Amino acid sequence: MLYELKNIRKSSGYTQAGMANAIDVPLSTYRNWEQCLNAPQDIETIKKIADILHTSMESLLGYDAVLPGYISENIDDHFVYVPLFGRIAAGEPLYMDKVDNHVLTPKELTRKYPHAFFLTIDGESMNRVLPNGCYALINPDEKQVIDGVAYAVCVNGYDATVKRVRQLENGVELVPDSTDPTFHPMVYDHTVAGTESITIIGRVVWYTVPFDFEI
């Protein structure tokens, strides 16, 4: 939920109607977000809201405000908590869940990637570099495609996946990196009518595994 949306919106001088218009959603939908009755179901919308209000996604979600309460006195100064945005496919494109947790992370990473967040990898199509069930750290400030680098991407505005990305003349190619030969590259040619749109969420810059991860 966007627990701090109302406070940040007011301090920025926006009205509810103005925000709804800027985001291009019905006013009733926006009001539900402020009342924490539900939340945007994709990271791109949350990022858009943050950009409009000149704030971070972490601030909208309330992580900036509650962070000290989540840090035990026994945890040294080298670690902080970073938001975890549910699951993202490493296989076929999959609907990406809303934020549901936080992950203890080396502070050095947050200094280098101050707006980064985690996504849970679901699937085997990137298992050479990202094991199924791991937490991939995504840097939303790196959206310029470097051929062959792994990115989290949105397919058609709501499905999400992690793949190596190749920029093509008329589109993009999403390339798996897996020991499973049944996974194949997916080409999205923008010159072909009906081709799904691709939006870069951010670059995969690091990963870790849950404490209960089976090895």
CATH number 2.10.109.10 given to 79-208: yes
> Residue 60 in contact with residue 2, Cβ under 8 Å?
yes
Q: What are phi and psi of 144, to 5 degrees?
A: -75, 120
Q: Kindly report the three-state secondary structure assignment for every residue of the chain.
A: CCCCHHHHHHHCCCCHHHHHHHHCCCHHHHHHHHCCCCCCCCHHHHHHHHHHCCCCHHHHHCHHHHHHHHCCCCCCCCEEEEEEEEEEECCCCEECCCCCEEEEEEHHHHHHCCCCEEEEEECCCCCCCCCCCCEEEEECCCCCCCCCEEEEEEECCCEEEEEEEEEECCEEEEECCCCCCCCCCEEEECCCCCCCCEEEEEEEEEEECCCCCCC
215 pLDDT higher than 50: yes
Domain ranges of the chain: 4-61, 79-208
Domains 4-61 and 79-208 share a fold: no
CATH code 1.10.3720.10 for 4-61 = no
Q: Where does the pLDDT of residue 108 fall: very low under 50, low under 70, confident under 90, or very high at 90 and above?
A: confident
What CA–CA distance (Å, rounded) separates 210 from 5?
Answer: 29
Q: What is the pLDDT of residues 34-74, one digit of tens each?
A: 887 777 877 778 889 999 999 887 678 765 443 333 333 44
Of 32, 49, 9, 44, nearest in space to 157 by CA: 44
| Average pLDDT in the chain | 83
% of the chain at pLDDT higher than 90: 45
Angle (CA) 88-92-124 rounded to 5° is: 75
pTM listed for this prediction: 0.64
pLDDT tens digits, 120-153: 898 999 999 999 999 999 998 999 999 999 999 9
| Per-range mean pLDDT, top range of 11-25, 88-102, 156-170 | 11-25
